[in-house]
Chains A and B, each alone.
Chain A
């Protein structure tokens, strides 16, 4: 039961990920499927960012004035882990771009088949 005791926050990400996964599998509408995938991605991004957390630490920006060249006395435990932030920073923007590609594909499917329902598109492909 250490999960509920210490890592309660991970349960939240698991639930969010399950919502996204369910949407991506069960929904027939392609736009709703895409929403599911985006929720899935959000869960993973939140999970990564939460890994970088350290109790009692500050944001990973050193307290140095502009123009100061002297090396401040940096203790790693005083700043939260910047690495997950870097990874997710790029992942969020790339996520936006890939969602754009997915929307473009859905738009093309709509122009071609007149619907965004997966089963109807499959039916039309089989018939033609």
Chain B
């Protein structure tokens, strides 16, 4: 098995190095990847959407469908983890569990220094996540990054305190609907555009609701709404993945 693996690995590596000989020079502004559509994105994105952060503009406007389905994939992954871990055990595990009943979990000792540190760190982390979301148009940031930071702030609390303590305040009944709400916000905005007579996720149709705003500005606002949806989904799913994985799906105890 090891020899086979080494053979395959070396073969793949050799093919890739051979392929890399045909690559354009690294960092060449005239390489095929950096011309054509990419140039158009850079020169036209600002006048079309008034978003200086080109990554946000492309993510939530030009490549809207891609991002929508990526958000759906994240949501589906969160749901899948929940379902996989909650399925009833099979015959082998049941037999073993009846022979060796699982040891009782001892509650972890509380550490006041750790708890205080997490207590102090949590609000700035949370605030920073919201900053990354709302300032994603003008600086590095956006929905996905903000969602990960928000999810991480909840995970910090879950590690510093106890999983049960944080789940009492941010229960599964809250974060699962929030994840679904994020996808709903994204797709709902698309359907709203459709109902107002535009194409799916074509924000310009929203001008009917807010006359007096330029078409570029309405795109900017549409991008913000979509990013909010992404943040909700990613943040809740990241925390949901953690909460389910550390407690084997039953939310009792955990790390």
Contact = CB atoms under 8 A, between A and B. Distances in A.
A57 B241 CA distance: 38
Given A17-B16, A107-B85, 6 more contacts: A52-B33, A61-B139, A84-B33, A89-B59, A101-B84, A104-B81
Interface string B33-56: 110011101110011001011110
9 contacts: A52-B34, A74-B43, A83-B38, A89-B145, A104-B84, A104-B245, A112-B89, A112-B90, A124-B92
A61 B29 contact: no
Nearest to B25: A6
Contacts of A15: 13
A40 to B, nearest CB: 10
A93 B74 contact: yes
B54 A61 contact: yes
Contact of B52 (A61, A81, A94): A61
Contacts of A9: 26
B191 interface: no
B20 interface: yes
Contacts of A80: 34
Interface in B236-255: 237-238, 241, 244-245, 248-249
B245 A86 contact: no
Interface string A49-75: 011111101011111101001011011
Contacts of B46: 62, 64, 71-72, 74
